Amino acid sequence: MFDGLEAHPPNRIKTKTHFIIHFNIKTMKNLKLTIGILLVTMVMVEFSLAQDWANLERFREDNAKLGLPASGEKRVVFMGNSITEGWGNIYPAFFKGKPYINRGISGQTTPQMLIRFRPDVINLKPAVVVILAGVNDIAGNTGPSTLEMIADNLYSMAELAKANGIKVVLCSVIPAFDFPWKPGQEPAEKIFKLNEMIKKYADKNKIVYLDYYSAMVDGRKGLQEKLTYDGVHPNEEGYKVMSPLAEAAIAKALKKK
């Protein structure tokens, strides 16, 4: 026996070793279980999001609370993406005291809007719908889209509205020279061409065309710096330019038979 060292009986060493092995096995099992639960949770979240690709749930409660328009009310629904959604946050004065309903969802593309067009527009029984969409399609937010695909979705929304007695205002896509979240897409010329397609369709079908583009574009077919905070989304000054144009277009649409 060495001096200064305590001798451990064989049974005590065996018991201690058995405890460590048992503890490690139990810890590993718990760790695997935790990882498994996390993976299942992540899959379920992704599955849930995939099942509501158009974000139909976003306005479900709001739509139910809103109900039908009051007698004589000329309700107007604004259908769009973050540019429409941001309007209510950055320049809420435009909506205050008016029968204007904002149904913009950030990041959305025209196929997503087409899916939710019935619950978020038609079922609300508006007199007019103002449709501003297409820029996120050009950015490829939900996959590649040709200009024809984008235009077809816009036309389909317009035709659904008309079939349900709703007057339509089709908006030009506002200018953008580049996308800060997805640079290098060179959207300026695509936006210009898409707007030509939208205007041609609107004129042919006697639909009001709302030209934001001409009032907001700069020399390189981008959004004027004073009207934006990131080159794509309007700031308060940008919405102040858009607001009277929207009011005039809505008034024009309401006069149509």
Residue 80 pLDDT more than 90? yes
pLDDT of residue 50: 62
The candidate with the shortest Cα–Cα distance to 167, out of 205, 199, 195, is 205
User: Residues near 58 by Cβ (< 8 Å), separated by ≥ 6?
Assistant: 105
pLDDT of residue 51: 85
Residue 257 has a pLDDT of 82
**Same domain for 153 and 26:** no
Does some domain include residue 68?
Answer: yes
Contact 164, 117 (CB under 8 A): no
Range of the domain at 182: 60-255
The predicted structure's pLDDT at residue 119 = 98
Regarding whether 39 and 65 lie in a shared domain, the answer is no
115 and 235 housed in the same domain:
yes
> 64 with 91, same domain?
yes
Q: Contact, 112 vs 142, CB < 8 A? A: yes
* 112 in any annotated domain: yes
Q: 82-121: per-residue pLDDT in tens?
A: 999 999 999 999 999 999 999 999 999 999 999 999 999 9
Show the tokens assigned to 90.
């950055």
> Is there a single domain that holds both residue 230 and residue 132?
yes
Q: Report yes or no on 231 lying in a domain.
A: yes
> Do both 36 and 72 map to the same domain?
no
> Per-residue confidence at 15, pLDDT binned at 50, 70, 90?
low
- Domain annotation covers residue 1: no
Residues 216, 102 share a domain: yes
Task: For residues 39 and 142, state if they share a domain.
Answer: no
- CATH number of the domain that residue 157 is part of: 3.40.50.1110
Task: Tell whether 212 is covered by a domain.
Answer: yes
| Domain contains 187 | yes
Q: What is the average pLDDT score of the chain?
A: 88
- Total tally of structural domains belonging to the chain: 2
For residue 2, being part of any structural domain is answered with no
Q: Are residues 45 and 77 in the same domain?
A: no
Q: HEC profile for the chain?
A: CCCCCCCCCHHHHHHHHHHHHHHHHHHHHHHHHHHHHHHHHHHHHHHHHHHCCCCCCCCHHHHHHHCCCCCCCCCEEEEECHHHHHHHHHCHHHCCCCCEEEEECCCCCHHHHHHHHHHHCHHHCCCEEEEECCHHHHHCECECCCHHHHHHHHHHHHHHHHHCCCEEEEECCCCCCCCCCCCCCCHHHHHHHHHHHHHHHHHHCCCEEECCHHHHECCCCCECHHHECCCCCECHHHHHHHHHHHHHHHHHHHHCC
Query: Is the residue at 176 inside a domain?
Result: yes
Q: Are residues 40 and 66 in the same domain?
A: no
Are 181 and 236 members of one domain?
yes
